[in-house]
Amino acid sequence: MPTTGRDSPARPSIRETIAARRAELRKTPRSQRTGDLQTYGSPAGRRAGTPRGFVYLDGNGVDQINDKSVAGQIRKAKKSGKLDIAGLELDRIPAKVFTELLGLDPKGLSNPPPPPSPKPTLLAPKARPASASPFATEDDFQNDALKDDVFGKPVEKEEVWTEPEAELTTFRAGHNQILTLDKEIGMFGGLKILDLCRNGLTAIPDSLSDLLRLTSLDLSHNKLTSIPRSVLLLPKLQWLDLSSNSIASLSFDSPIGPSEDGLGYGQGFFSTAISRAASVKTERPVLPALHHLDLGNNKLSIEGLRALAQIKLGGMRVLNLERNAIKGVVIAEDLGVDAKAMPELSQLVLSGNTNFRGIDGELASAVMVETAGCNLRQHTPAFSREATPAAEDTSFTAPESAISSPKKPTGPSLPVPEPDLTIIYKNTPAMTFDSEPLAIDFDIYLPTAPAGPSGHPLVVWFHGGGLLQGNKENLPPHFRRLPSHVYHGEDGKADESVVVISPNYRLAPQVPIIDILSDVTSLLDFIRTKLNDKLVKEGQSEHKVDVERICLSGGSAGGYLALMAGLEVPKEVSDEEAGGFRGGSKGIKCLAPFYPITDLTDKFWSTETIPVPWMDGTIITHPQAKPHIDTKAAHICTAASGGPRSILYPYMLQHSLFPSLLFRTQRAIGNGYDSFRPTPLALSVTNRLELTAKSSRAQPHVPIYFIYGTLDDKVQPMDHTLEVLNKVEGELVVERIEGGDHMYDEDPAVECEALREWLGKTLL
């Protein structure tokens, strides 16, 4: 494939720049050098509370450890080689990044910083200096001004650039408002990880092709319309995320190769200009090391994917094409996803392509194809559930179960909306030496009509996955469509619509169950105290939320989180009996769990199932699961559907490891003799309901709409759960889906009308 040559940017080589700066530094007296890390003892250290009374300051007296500014992050990057300016609401990469980490002249940048504002002229009266003698007269100050005019002002000392101690290997600038990238980004030749997600990028500069050591590139949630040509020849790129852009077709034509400077980076003096010039013209393969490509949530059709068959991606292991415009039957060979083109493919994600009908052709022998939300009519019977008027509300008494029956979908395909905003609600520090701080976020789906005076009511939906896997993108289509439904007001009340939030949370076993529950608490605190201010800042002031009208919902493990957060344990129950989590939260008006995990002690979890029924005889081996159950690995809060971590739930069922995986890293709560370690019994919904039923002072629980399918064999049976629910006071509606399986509502044709009507009566 022909390679488009590219001239070097107008700049000195990195080797020349560094050599010149080092020479300049050697000529500078040490006392004049700036930026050296210093430690200052008491009293400043004692005030900061740092070990031995020291606080770590730079040459200007700035606390380096707690400084979250751009300048502070640059100082850290000089020592660690990791720069994190994510979530700082930047509209460009600050010029300081290039001047301080590369030693470039600000005036020579492709996008130089604006000039400093002019200082006031000497014609204005000079202010009396604070250190001036009390006996000085105004004439003395005028004479000082005259001296400056005659002899000139003292020359300010120019800051001397110091070479960073560590080469930059990680650069995170996601969750900002960056619209364009400076070409100097390609001068960081040592970069291995580059994260530019959730900005407004429409193009990527050609200089990115110089990042020859790059292994991971995240360009998700931008406004790209094609795969950038400058990434196509990166020789070590293994992980490329282009999800949630506007890509309608793929093209691998005219890839842009590295410049001479890029080829010379790190090669030493033995790399001659002649050899580099010859190497520029060398024909290079397209994405030779790529094994994970995420193209989900774009506009790709079968025709737009045909370019995949023109290149060789033999090392591809995970290909995500979820929620695109793929229709009909896919011919594997035509798209280059067959066993011959991708022999190592292990995960092919096609979920959410509503009109996808199946794949013809031979795929790799070990591949798992994820098709949740697809209508595979010729392979599996597709059906929707019809809401039933038989759902009966009961207050303080046992309800009759509502029964829904399968029904063939009819009519045109229903839309599957994308989120309007993604917001970070919690940041946790890096937990391993080589990991990064973790930003935990949620998607928010807004109505089109503005909110009333009190704000929109809110539904919070937690994803499933056994608290081991899954992510916020698993929000079922009917919940995505819920904000578009208008509840017509009665008795003179205004019409209303609902806001829906789908959050991520940290995943076990790297994080224990109590920490996962603390994420839920942090989310609800953020909603109550900060969400509306954030919506105003994002230009969505007409969609404020009523924090007194919240419904918690979720599927499977998400249903467990909704029940745990929404059901309050009686006050007389001890913290140890409650497992260190008491539940109940201000503003929670109702709960709507779907096929939830409820009893962590049920024999279902302690029974080995090899293989699990829905895996078609496939057994997950210990070596396959080992990387994902390493408790010393970095914490994560999202795992792509159909990705490598998707094996954890069936692996757990095979070897009856639930709920032990949730408690593997759980430490004791409290101090001394009062400390205790939470148990599966204490953190089971059923046990907490039993404690509530025995209490004479317990309040009735908030209204609950409980939904499950009769064919569900992925969680414990619901008989005992419903029996215990009927013992406690509170409104309860049960909808039983005849012929329904686990995650039945991920079918795009499912509407859940009965739940929607119940929300209108209960939440509004």
Over residues 613-672, the pLDDT tens digits come to 888 888 999 999 999 999 999 999 998 877 889 899 999 999 999 999 999 999 999 888
Contacts 24+ apart (CB under 8 A), 96-99: 96/70, 96/71, 97/70, 98/182, 98/184, 98/187, 99/161
Q: Do the beta carbons of residue 224 and residue 203 sit within 8 Å?
A: yes
- What percentage of the chain exceeds 70 in pLDDT? 77
Domain residues for the domain of 409 are 395-762
- Same domain for 336 and 400, yes or no, is no
For CA atoms 98, 104, 107, 108, the dihedral sign is negative
Residue 615 amino acid letter: M
* Residue range 456-478, pLDDT digits in tens: 999 999 999 999 999 999 999 99
Residue of higher predicted confidence among 701 and 356? 701
Q: Is residue 300 part of a domain?
A: yes
Averaged pLDDT for residues 606-617? 87
pTM: 0.56
Q: Is residue 563 part of a domain?
A: yes
- pLDDT value, residue 428: 92
* Residue range 269-297, pLDDT digits in tens: 344 444 445 555 567 899 999 999 999 99
- Same domain for 342 and 411, yes or no, is no
Q: Is residue 73 part of a domain?
A: no
Q: Residue 195 and residue 217: Cα distance in Å, rounded?
A: 6
- Same domain for 445 and 319, yes or no, is no
- The interaxial angle of helices 513-529 and 557-566, nearest 10 deg, is 60
- Same domain for 402 and 309, yes or no, is no
- pLDDT value, residue 284: 84
> Does 434 score more than 60 pLDDT?
yes
Residue of higher predicted confidence among 99 and 136? 99
Averaged pLDDT for residues 712-731? 95
- pLDDT value, residue 571: 92
Averaged pLDDT for residues 355-380? 76
**Cβ neighbours around 567 below 10 Å, total:** 23
- The interaxial angle of helices 95-102 and 70-80, nearest 10 deg, is 30
- Same domain for 594 and 733, yes or no, is yes
State the CATH number of the domain containing residue 644.
Answer: 3.40.50.1820
Q: Residue 590 and residue 758: Cα distance in Å, rounded?
A: 10
Q: Give the H/E segment covering residue 344.
A: none
Q: Is residue 132 part of a domain?
A: no
- Same domain for 433 and 295, yes or no, is no
- pLDDT value, residue 6: 57
Q: Do the beta carbons of residue 564 and residue 683 sit within 8 Å?
A: yes
The closest alpha carbon to 222, from 195, 247, 245, 239, belongs to 245
Mean pLDDT of the chain: 83
Q: Is residue 222 part of a domain?
A: yes
- pLDDT value, residue 117: 66
**Cβ neighbours around 70 below 10 Å, total:** 17
Q: Do the beta carbons of residue 706 and residue 559 sit within 8 Å?
A: no
- Tally: H helices and E strands in the chain: 18, 25
Q: Residue 644 and residue 200: Cα distance in Å, rounded?
A: 29
Torsion, CA 33, CA 35, CA 41, CA 43, rounded to 10: 110
State the CATH number of the domain containing residue 171.
Answer: 3.80.10.10
- pLDDT value, residue 754: 95
- Same domain for 617 and 724, yes or no, is yes
Q: Do the beta carbons of residue 568 and residue 581 sit within 8 Å?
A: no
Quickly state the pLDDT bin for 118 (edges 50, 70, 90). low
Across the strands, what pairs with 719?
none
> Does 48 score more than 50 pLDDT?
no
Q: Residue 401 and residue 706: Cα distance in Å, rounded?
A: 9
- pLDDT value, residue 94: 93
* Residue range 184-223, pLDDT digits in tens: 999 999 999 999 999 999 999 999 999 999 999 999 999 9
- What percentage of the chain exceeds 90 in pLDDT? 59
Q: Residue 313 and residue 252: Cα distance in Å, rounded?
A: 12
Q: Is residue 218 part of a domain?
A: yes
Quickly state the pLDDT bin for 505 (edges 50, 70, 90). very high
Q: Do the beta carbons of residue 266 and residue 190 sit within 8 Å?
A: yes
- pLDDT value, residue 272: 47
> Does 594 score more than 60 pLDDT?
yes
- pLDDT value, residue 400: 36
Quickly state the pLDDT bin for 718 (edges 50, 70, 90). very high
Q: Residue 727 and residue 354: Cα distance in Å, rounded?
A: 42
Averaged pLDDT for residues 100-128? 72
- Same domain for 625 and 592, yes or no, is yes
> Does 51 score more than 50 pLDDT?
no
* Residue range 403-431, pLDDT digits in tens: 444 344 444 568 889 999 999 999 999 88
Residue of higher predicted confidence among 715 and 491? 715
* Domains contained in the chain, number: 2
* Residue range 540-567, pLDDT digits in tens: 999 999 999 999 999 999 999 999 999 9
Helix (H, G, I), strand (E, B) or coil at 497: coil
- pLDDT value, residue 390: 35
- pLDDT value, residue 640: 81
- Same domain for 341 and 420, yes or no, is no
The Cα-based distances of 139 to 122, 130, 143, 144, 681 in angstroms read 14, 17, 6, 9, 84
Averaged pLDDT for residues 127-131? 53
Q: Is residue 13 part of a domain?
A: no
The Cα-based distances of 325 to 296, 305, 322, 355 in angstroms read 10, 10, 9, 8
Averaged pLDDT for residues 577-604? 94
* Residue range 132-185, pLDDT digits in tens: 555 555 555 556 555 565 556 555 555 666 778 888 999 999 999 999 999 999
- Same domain for 591 and 661, yes or no, is yes
- Out of 153-157, 385-389, 441-445, 629-633, which region has the weakest mean confidence (pLDDT)? 385-389
Length of the chain: 764
Q: Residue 320 contacts by C-beta under 8 Å, 6 or more apart in sequence?
A: 243, 293, 294, 295, 296, 347, 349, 640, 642, 643
Buried b (16+ CB within 10 A) or exposed e, 401-412: bbebeeeebeee
The Cα-based distances of 298 to 220, 245, 318, 328, 418 in angstroms read 10, 5, 17, 17, 10
Averaged pLDDT for residues 719-726? 96
Question: Residue 520 phi/psi, 5° resolution?
Answer: -65, -45
- Same domain for 424 and 312, yes or no, is no
Q: Residue 38 contacts by C-beta under 8 Å, 6 or more apart in sequence?
A: 57, 58, 59
Q: Is residue 473 part of a domain?
A: yes
- pLDDT value, residue 114: 78
Q: Residue 553 contacts by C-beta under 8 Å, 6 or more apart in sequence?
A: 459, 460, 461, 462, 479, 559, 562, 591, 592, 593, 594
- Same domain for 557 and 596, yes or no, is yes
